[in-house]
Amino acid sequence: MTTAIALTRSRRRFSDHQVAIALLLPIALINVVGFMLPIFNLARFSFNRATTGGGIENVLTLENWTGLLRDPFYLELILNSIWISLGVTLCALVLSYPIALYLHRSSGTWRTFLTVLVISPLLTSAVVRTYGWIAILSDEGPVVGAIKSVGLTPPPLMFNINGVFIGLTEILMPYMILALMAGFGRLDPKVEEAARTLGATPWQCFRRVILPLTAPGIALGCLLCFVLAVSSFITPKLMGGGRVFLLATEIYDQAIVTLNWPLASTLSILVLIIFGAALVAYSAVLKRLD
């Protein structure tokens, strides 16, 4: 036995460090080929020049970037994308928080049943769910009908920013609920009970105990929803009626319809920069929470 171990040891020609590198190499390679190279390509396109009719001139120019910053339409588009995504994230958070909290506190079969209910929308594609919303919110749909039946004039709910807001919020809620639940791990019912026994009102208990303990979940959910909202394209395209200009829809138009790949690449890199900023903000929030 001892001889066998000694033999294995003497045969070991690689250090732990080398083994780790060897094991990481395949995934690193896949990432370089499948992720880094395309991103690099995208970045390179953003410094090329678009020619009339969809051609690409292989030069090195800052035109796309300076044009973007000088054009008020694109500045508005960028700000629009950010505030709509923040707004949708906030709506999703407010609507999802109570659901997630209730799910966290429930137990047994009931909890399983409710969790399945929360996840079930994810089993259908966003396209199908968006078409569902179009049927519900359109001028001849039940919502407008109900508002009209009580003698009120409803605001247009479809093919404008209202539709995009409603649709995106609902579509992102399951992600928010799941992220919140994942972050609720530290929330122990005993802590709440202790706070209440020591004389905290329900509001004080929520404000001073529950909220701080669930903050990591909130931060995670907001990061996830914000990133998904900025990059979401199907729902704004289908529900915005061509009136709501966002980064993701503009990238589609420039890449597929106008064939201006350099501009589409510039906007895509910009979205990546916004994601980076969101990640930095998230890390800062996490650090403060710790």
Partner 1 sequence: MKTGTLARSVAALALTAGMGQAETVVLSAYSGIFEENYMKAVVEPFMEAHPEIEVEFYGMPNSAQMLGTLRAQKDAPQIDVMIMDVSVAKAATDEGLFAPLDASVTGHIDDLYPQAKVDGVNAVGVTFDNLVLLYNTDKVTDKPASWEALWDPQYKGQVSIPAVPDIQGTTLTILANRLAGGESYLDGMEPGLAKLMELAPNVQTWEPRPDVYQPISSGTAAIGIGWNARAQVYADKSDGKLGVVLPAEGSGFQINVIGLVQDAPAGDAAKTFIDYALSPEVQARFTETMFYAPTNQKAAPLISDAAISRTAAGAMDKMVPINWLEVATIRDGITEQWRRRIIPLSR
Question: CA-CA distance, 158 to 61, in Å (whole number)?
Answer: 41
- Asked if residue 147 binds partner 1 (CB under 8 A), the reply is no
- Asked if residue 55 binds partner 1 (CB under 8 A), the reply is yes
- Asked if residue 256 binds partner 1 (CB under 8 A), the reply is yes
- Asked if residue 143 binds partner 1 (CB under 8 A), the reply is no
- Interface region with partner 1, contact rule CB under 8 A, candidates 98-106, 248-256, 265-273, 276-284: 248-256
Q: Which residues contact 261 (CB under 8 A, 6 or more apart)?
A: 45, 48, 50, 54, 56, 254, 255
Pick the closer one to partner 1 by CB: 259 or 272: 259
**How many residues belong to the site for partner 1 (CB under 8 A)?**
26
The alpha carbon dihedral of 52, 56, 61, 66 has a sign of positive
Q: Look up tokens 């704004």; give the residue.
A: 236
Whole-angstrom CA distances from 66 to 54, 63, 74, 181, 284 are 20, 5, 11, 43, 30
- Interface region with partner 1, contact rule CB under 8 A, candidates 5-13, 115-123, 212-220, 257-265: 257-265
- Asked if residue 132 binds partner 1 (CB under 8 A), the reply is no
Pick the closer one to partner 1 by CB: 96 or 254: 254
The structure tokens listed for 288 are 């403060």
Contact string (CB under 8 A) for partner 1, positions 215-244, x = contact: ----------------------xx-xxxx-
Pick the closer one to partner 1 by CB: 84 or 222: 84
- Asked if residue 67 binds partner 1 (CB under 8 A), the reply is no
Closest CA to 192 of 215, 213, 220, 218: 213
Which DSSP helix (H) or strand (E) runs through 137? Answer: helix 126-137
- Asked if residue 138 binds partner 1 (CB under 8 A), the reply is yes
- Asked if residue 73 binds partner 1 (CB under 8 A), the reply is yes
Please say whether the beta carbons of 219 and 182 come within 8 A: no
DSSP letter at 120 equals: G
- Asked if residue 125 binds partner 1 (CB under 8 A), the reply is no
The structure tokens listed for 147 are 């508002």
Q: Which residues contact partner 1 (rule: CB under 8 A)? A: 51-56, 73, 138-140, 156, 159-160, 237-238, 240-243, 245, 253, 255-259
